[in-house]
Amino acid sequence: MKFFSFWRSLASFRVRIALNLKSIPVDVEFVDLDADAHRADDYRRLNPQMALPALVDDDGTVLVQSLAMIEYLDEKYPDPPLLPADARGRARVRALALMVACEGHPLLVPRVRRYLDHELNLRDTQQAAWRRHWTVETLAALEGHLASHKDTGKFCHGDAPTLADICMVGHVTVAITQQIDLSTWPTVKRIFETAMALPEFAKAHPLVQPDTPEAMRAKSA
């Protein structure tokens, strides 16, 4: 399999975790978002949406959209499962994942930030306020759903990581980058710390990838 990834991409972070949890080897091709490599013809042919990540399976099947990719991997390599066995559990895990992937993350991606900057001419402080607002909204939504739910365990759903944790850790990583104090959302904080203590999550972190710029890598130490 060939995996098209960028160190800072949260959607790539999600798929890296899933690949690690399932021990699936991939050849990684780095696509530099900062150099607009995702808009170049080569990558655009692969994913006309010009977004990362993308995954090309051995038979040539091209997969885009991190959640679709992770569910594909989960069906093809069921061990360990990333979705619960019961329909109600799957609906809950997908809902938690979508709070991040469909509600929070899309408001923070480069193309949106570029629009705020270049088209709406928002000042840096306004752009930072935008990012902070939507990051906090999603943290609050997650905490509200996780804090007193009977199915919340060591992880978002029970005692093993699922798609919900995979999505949540990326969002919390963004919050940390924005120096947001996580103590307001103790359940989210606890689950984030539990998940990131697993090597499969830690190795997928944006700041430890082969294409992470040296200056950023130093900050992660």
Ligand X SMILES: N[C@@H](CCC(=O)N[C@@H](CS)C(=O)NCC(=O)O)C(=O)O
| Residues making contact with ligand X (CB under 6 A) | 9-11, 33, 38, 51-52, 65-67, 101, 109-111
Residue 149's nearest CA partner among 92, 199, 191 is 92
CA distances from 164 to 5, 18, 44, 99 (A): 20, 11, 29, 9
Q: Compare residues 36 and 193 and give the one whose CB is closer to ligand X.
A: 36
CB-CB contact of 18 with 70 (8 Å): yes
- Min CB(153)–ligand X separation in Å: 25
CA distances from 97 to 82, 119, 167 (A): 11, 30, 5
CB-CB contact of 13 with 204 (8 Å): yes
- Min CB(11)–ligand X separation in Å: 4
Q: Compare residues 16 and 92 and give the one whose CB is closer to ligand X.
A: 16
Distance CA 146, CA 142 (A): 6
Q: Compare residues 51 and 93 and give the one whose CB is closer to ligand X.
A: 51
- Min CB(22)–ligand X separation in Å: 18
Q: Compare residues 65 and 152 and give the one whose CB is closer to ligand X.
A: 65
Q: Which residue is nearest to ligand X (CB)?
A: 111
Of the chain, the end-to-end C-alpha distance in Å amounts to 31
| Token pair belonging to 21 | 């949890």
Q: Compare residues 109 and 207 and give the one whose CB is closer to ligand X.
A: 109
- Min CB(148)–ligand X separation in Å: 29
- Min CB(32)–ligand X separation in Å: 11
Q: Compare residues 92 and 171 and give the one whose CB is closer to ligand X.
A: 171
- Min CB(149)–ligand X separation in Å: 24
Lateral strand order in the sheet of 27-30: 27-30, 2-5, 54-56, 62-64
